Structures are given as structure tokens and as C-alpha cells.
Structure 1
Amino acid sequence: MDPNALTYIIGGVGLLAGIIAGKFIFAKNTQKQIDEAEQQAKKLLADAQTQAETVKQQKQLESKERFLQLKSEHEKEVGERNRKLVDSENRVRQKEQTINQKVDQLDKQVKENEAIKENLNRQIEVVNLKRNELEKHQEEHIRRLEKIAGLTADEAKKQLVESLKQEATTQALALQQEIIDDAKQKANKEARKIIIQSIQRTAAEQAIENSITVFNLESDEIKGQIIGREGRNIRAIEAATGVDLIVDDTPEAIILSSFDPLRREIARLSLTRLVTDGRIHPARIEEIVEKTRRQIEEQVMEIGERTVIELGIHGLHKELVRIVGKMRFRSSYGQNLLMHSREVANLCGIMAAELGLNPKLAKRAGLLHDIGKVPDEESELSHALLGAKLAEKYGENPAVVNAIGAHHDEMEMQYVISPIVQACDAISGARPGARREIMQQYLQRIKDLENLALAYQGVEKAYAIQAGRELRVIVEADKVTDADSDKLSFEIAQKIQTEMTFPGQIKVTVIREKRSVNVAR
């Protein structure tokens, strides 16, 4: 055998022996570790069993304590319920005793009532017997009375009822008249008090408006510039403003004539600007007049807004505010329309407050009552109806609309503030100095008043006194009775109200006098 091969074999055997010896040693060590692990596992298991037993004992103790606690609470609750049941039984037992006592008392009262009832029945029988006897006596008495008086009982009863009825009617009429007179006296007194207080608490201006405006000039040389070549400037001014310019011999003055104060104001301001500027010709005139008209429109809005703010009126439509401002440039009988409307508004507010009504609503109606006098377009309606239509158009309260339309009796009054507005309008127009009338118109109204009264039969004389505020009518005593006097006074007042136009009110007094004259000689 080859020595090298033998060497290789011996080396391989040695290597194999080493591997087997290593595996034997590793297996021995592994068995030792396994034994140690089993011992640790047994130790851990024993510890776990010990802890489990401890926890089990603790839980058992806790369960016993909880059970004992619940048992105690349950026994306590059961005892409380038993106590309540015992209390309830005691109360029921007491109620039963009380009810039994009341039943005994009721039985006793029933027995007593039966005895009383028997006694009453006996008394009723006695009363019935006596009543029958009385009826027989009464019938006998009535027969005797009928025989003596010659009247049956029904006839006598009718006569008695009739006499009592007449007496009661007379007393009722007298009492009614007394109540009416007392009510009239108190009502007139209270009404006068309210009206006087309202008038005294309102200050107003005198009538100062007219139909002309005097435009003052620095020198007469400016008159020629205003007239222009062949009068073209003055014609242009009149055409643009609608105002008549009167240029006469009055030194340093030109008269602006128009019944429309708004037009006169536009003409006055336009002339002031033209004279100040110095350029006066038709084109410039039209430009200045248009600019002035726009300025007046803005001024009208400012006047309207300032008026409603001063009066404490809120929520008024802008168009109504503009109409209120336009009233500043209108007048009626010489009385400025805006001043008149402000005065009426203040009077309405005071009077409504005195009567316990809404003063703001009354003041609103008083301010707007004459808006129909300044329409933007001509209308065939009266100013009261036109004003009501405008107020309704711009969403005013129905009470305000009715007060505007009814303040001259052209619409039926449906709200309480309507007569207040009518009365305050009359107060504002009738007070001294409020309006200016032409003397001829005043004399004609006085004469018409007297002639209206003289047209009635039995009227001897008629006199209009107190500036036409009172009409005294003297009648012939032989032709007119006292009852006719009341009727005549009413008829004359109604005729004046329907046929004549007058500020305020007119008192009609009918005087009937009977004189018997004899002469001793």
C-alpha cells in the first residue's frame, strides 16, 4: 500500500474520531441545559401556582365582603320598606276609623233630617190649609171690591200699570234730560280746557305772505341791463320763470309779481345771480334760472327734512318730505302753508296726548293734511281728497289717510284722530292774525250770513257779530214757538255748514222774546 495513501486514511480516521468525540461532548452539554431548564420551569410553575392560590384567596375574601355588604344594604332596604308599609297600614287604619266616625255622624244626621222633614211636612200641610183659607178670603175681598168700584181686577190692574208707566216715563225723561245736560256741560268744559291748553302751548306767526316781491337794485342803471335790447332780456326772464317783472318809476327797485311764491323765489335768486355776474343775455338767463331751480329743489328737500326732524316724525317717504318742503313756498289766505301745517301738527300732538291717543300719529296727520295744495300736476280733485290719495300712494297709515281726506268732511271719518285734525285745522285758520281776507270778501260773507237767516219764516232780524263768528237771529214771538226756536237754530246751522265756506265755526243763537206793554194813565 502506498505510504501516502495510508497516511491519508489514518488522517481521515483521526478526523472522524474527533468529530464524533465533539458531538458526544455537545450532546452532553445540551442535556445538562435541558435539565436546568426543566428545573427552572418547575420552579416557575410552582411560584405561579402559589401566586394563583394567593389571588384566589384574596378574591374569595373580597367576594365575601361584597356579599356581606350587599346583604346588609338589602336587609336595610327591606327594613325601610317594612317600616313604610307599617306606617301606611297605620294611616289606612286611622282613615278607616275617621271614615267610620263620619259614617256614624251621617247616619245620625240622616235620622235627624228625617225627623225635621216629617216636622216640615206637618208645617207645610198647615200652611197649605191657611193659604187656601186666605185665597178664599182674597177672592171674596176682590168680589166685594169689584162690586164697590164697578171694575174687574184686570181693568184695575191695567189702569194701575198705565198710571205707573206714565209716571215712570215722565221721571225717566226728566232724568235723561238732566243726565244729557250734565254730560254736555262737562263735555263742553273738558273740550274747552283741552283746546285752550293746546292753543296756549303753541306759538304761531302772523300772516305776512303776499303776491309780490320787491327786488332792490344798487342803481337804476341795472334796470336797462335787465330789460335788454328791445326788451329781450326781460321777456326771457318772464318766459323762464313764469313771473311778471314790473319795471316802473320806483327808484332802485323791480317788482316781481306772481301768485306762486316758489316761482317768485326762483326769479328773485336768478336776478340776484345775474346782477352779481353782470352777464345778462337770454342764454345766460336760461342757464342761471335752471341752476337756481335745481338749487331750490335741494332747498325744498332740506326744508322738508328739517321740518320732519323738528317735529319728531320718522319713516316719511322722500316724496312726501319733498312735498312738505314745497309747502314753505305756498300760502292760503295770506297764511304760509308750511307754518300752518306745523302749527296744526303741534296742536294735534298736544290734543291727542291730552285725550290719551297716539300723539306721533296725530302729529303726522296734522303735518300732511294739506299736501294736496301743492301737487306736481293739476287735478280735478279737491286738495283734501288729492292729499289722501297721495298719502295712500306713498304707504301712509290708513288713519292718516282718512284724517287727510276727511278734514273738510269730503270723506267719512273712520278714526279718532280725524276730528282732531279737523278741529286743529280750524283752530289754526280761525285764530286772530292767522289769515288775511280782502275787506270786500269779509263784508260779503257777513251779509250772506244775515240774508241766509232772514230767508226763514218768522225771522224778524239777524245780526252777524264777533267778526262773523256768531249769528244772532231774533224771531217773532207770535209766529215761532220755543220748540220751533230749537229747530230753527239747528236748520240755520246746517244750512250755513253746507252752503257757505268759512274758517273756524259759527255759533247760531235764536232769540225769542214776548213783551206785553200797557200804559197806566
Structure 2
Amino acid sequence: MDTTTIIIAGAAGLLIGFIIAKFLEKGKASKTLATAKKDAAALLKNAEVEGENIKKDKIFQAKEKFLELKAEHEKVIINKEKKISESEKRTRDKESQVSSELARNKKLNEQLEDKIKDFDHKLEVYEKKQTEVEKLHKSQVQQLEVISGLSAEEATNQLLESLKETAKSDAMAFMQSTLEEAKLTAQQEAKKIVVNTIQRIGTEEAVENCVSVFNLESDDVKGRIIGREGRNIRALEAVTGVEIIVDDTPEAIILSCFDSVRREVARLSLHKLVTDGRIHPARIEEVVRKTEKQIEQEIVEIGKRTVIDLGIHGLHPELIKAVGRMKYRSSYGQNLLQHSREVAKLCGVMAAELGLNPKLAKRAGLLHDIGKVPNTENELETPHAILGMQWAEKFGEKPDVCNAIGAHHDEIEMKTLISPIVQVCDAISGARPGARRQVLDSYIQRLKDLEDIAFGFGGVQKAYAIQAGRELRVIVESEKVSDEKAAQLSFEISQKIQTDMTYPGQVKVTVIRETRSVNVAK
């Protein structure tokens, strides 16, 4: 109704303005007024009709919008009611499930309580029976002690010892058979092939530093050296600890051992045996003993020549012998005697330049590594600098020399000016290009460790690491070790090596037990 009124009012205003304008312009008021009234009436009628139509349209649109909103509202309400009903259903299901679980738990608790009561009853019965059994056991033990004349503890110890020996023997037999079976099948595994390949390569690298070649006039001598069924070569290897390799190399035999003293003894012994022509086990042992004495004398002569060449006087005979032994020792692949001579000369020159006593410096330089030539197995655990200092003190060397020996690796405090000179010269000699090779020294140390492990068992007389550390040959005393014990000893040594050492490939442990009967005819 408001829109229609506005339209009519606007139309009337326009009409009146138009009529007045026409009236003023043309002066025909009467005629124009009549015409204007007609037009105005027509316009008013049309405006009323249009207003009614617009009103009807708006009312219809409003009704349609109302119905549409009502339908959407009803749909939302229906969805919410549906969700509420589903939630109520789930809640009812959960409540039902919880109630069933509670009932089941209640039943289980009741069963558990019944079982606990039953267990307590059985435990009480068991304790009573155990008390009765203990009383019966004590009475029987007392009766047995009276019958046997032994206490319970003594009888238990005897039984345990017998069971222990039986179990140990059975376990050793079982483990030995298991190992034998594993050895038969292990060769088919790819890992063993790789390990063996690495092992062969390591052996080839070590051979260059640990072998000597013994030249022969003809290959016919090889058969005599081997002897009937190999008895000569076995005897020579057993008494010297050197592996003797007789192969297709023309007019030559290879002597393999990490210890150069053993290798030299074997070489000189072979030379004497071949020259003499008498080769048999008894003769071999005799020649080897004489050769060992000859090597000892040669060591003393080498020590004397060394101290004379360096102008060192008044050295104790035991220290002279230790200096001679250096010829047959190496440190990181560097010959120990050559290294010590070099350090002594360097110390003399450096001390002279600093205005110190060059003879005293030479003395300390020559003796600084004598701790690397131990006389007993127990001395291997002491650092070589401390051990050398102890020897020097024992054999009357001056405090300056002793301090220089003990402090050249900073094991003790330096107290004299000669000590840093010896340390510096030792570093110069060892660090120059080509002086040392770490690989050889670690390889030799590994072979020494192998032999030391064997000496840690009772009844072992000799132990030799051969074949570049792939085999450990152990000679035992027949009086202390039986055949059965020898097999057990071989297994125990192999297990000790396996747990205590790190090594490439495999180590074969061979225990040799030999019985000799000796009588003298007078």
C-alpha cells in the first residue's frame, strides 16, 4: 500500500507541474485542465492496477520463501533427532557391554579367590610334607654317615668331583665330535672361502720378512732331510720351532719362523747336518743344541763389537749380551740393533753440540731399548722402558743413564738433560722414511701371544707358532699329560685363543705327546 501511494503521488506531482507549465506557456488553462484531469485519472487508474499486481507478487514471494525455510528447518530437526536416536542406541549398547564385562569380571574374581584359597591350602600341605621330608633326609644322612664313615660334606665333594670329571669328559667328547662334523660341512660355506682367501694373502705378505732360504747342492739332499716317513723333518721342526718347507723350488729349502734366532739356529743346524751327511733324530737334537750354544757365543761377540765400535767402556757382561740379542729382534719392522746404534750416534752428536758428555749420551742411546729383549716370560708385561731402566740399575749404570732409559717414552719424569736427547733421537731414528713397518711388528706380537697362551697351561714343554700364525704346535711332557688329556688340552687351548685373541682366518692347534725310553749300557 505504501509503494502504490508513492507512485500515485509522484505521478500527480508531475502531472500538475506539467499542466501548470502548459497553462502558463500557452494560456489555455481550461482546455488543458480538462485534458490533464482525464490523463491524471487514467494514470491514477493504471498506477493502482500496477500497485496491486506488485503487492500480489511480493506476497506470493514471501509465502514461497516461508515455505522453503520451513522445509529446511524441518529437515534439520529430523537429522538432529536421527543423530540423537543413534547416540542413544550406542549408549544403550555400551551400557549392555559394560554390564556383561562387569559380570564376567566378577565371575573371574570369584574363581581367582577360589584358586588362591586352594593354593594356600596346598602350600600349607606342601610345607608340612617338606618339613617331614627334611626330617627323614637328616635321619637318613646320619645313618649313611654312620655306615660309610664319611660326613655329608665329604661324600658330597667326592660325588661332585666324580660327576664333574665324567661331565667334563662327556662334554669334551661331544664338543670334539661336533667340531669334527662342523669342519666337514664348513668348507661348503662361502664365508670360509673368503676367510681362507684373506688368510693366504696375509701369509704371502708375511713370508717376505719371516723366511730364510737354505740353498742345497742338489735336490737329492731333500729326501735325506725329510727322512723315512718324514721323521727327520718332524724332529728338526720340533726341536727348533721352525717350519721347514720342502717344495718344488730347485735346490732350496725354505725356513719359516717369526723369531730370527730360531730361524738362524735352524739354518746353521741344517748346514752342519748336510755337510756332515749324518741326518737322523738323535743327531739333529745334538747339532741343534751345539748350534744354540754357538749362537749364544755369537750374540756375546756381536755385543762386544758394538760397544767397541761406539767407544763405550765398562758395560756389564749381561748388558753386552742384551745388546747382542738386539740383532735378532725387530721393532715395527726395524732391526733393533741397527736402531739402537743409530740412536747412540745421534745422541753423541747432539750431546756434543749442547756441550754435554757425548759418551754418556751414547751409552744411554745404545741401552734405551734393552727392555725389548726380555729374558723371562714374566717380564713381557712390564713396559720395555721401565724394564730397561730396572736392568740398567741392576747392573750398575749411572742414574743419568737409567733415567734416560726409563723416560724415553714418558713412563717416568725426566731428571737430566740426556733424557730428552735420547727421546728425540729415538723419535728421529724411528720416524725417518722407511724405518719402520707397523704391520710386521703387530704380526710378530700376535705370534708371540699365541705361544704365551699355550705356555699358560700345565704340562706344556714347548710351543711354536708356525705357518704365519695359522698353526700352533705344542709339545707336552708325557709324564704329566696323558693321551686323553692331550686331546682335551688341544681343545682348551683353541678355545682360549678364540676368546682372548683377534686374528684372521683359523688357527690349528696341534698337541704332540712323545714317550721316550732311554737306558745306558755300561
TM-score by length of 1: 0.44
CA radius of gyration, larger in = 1
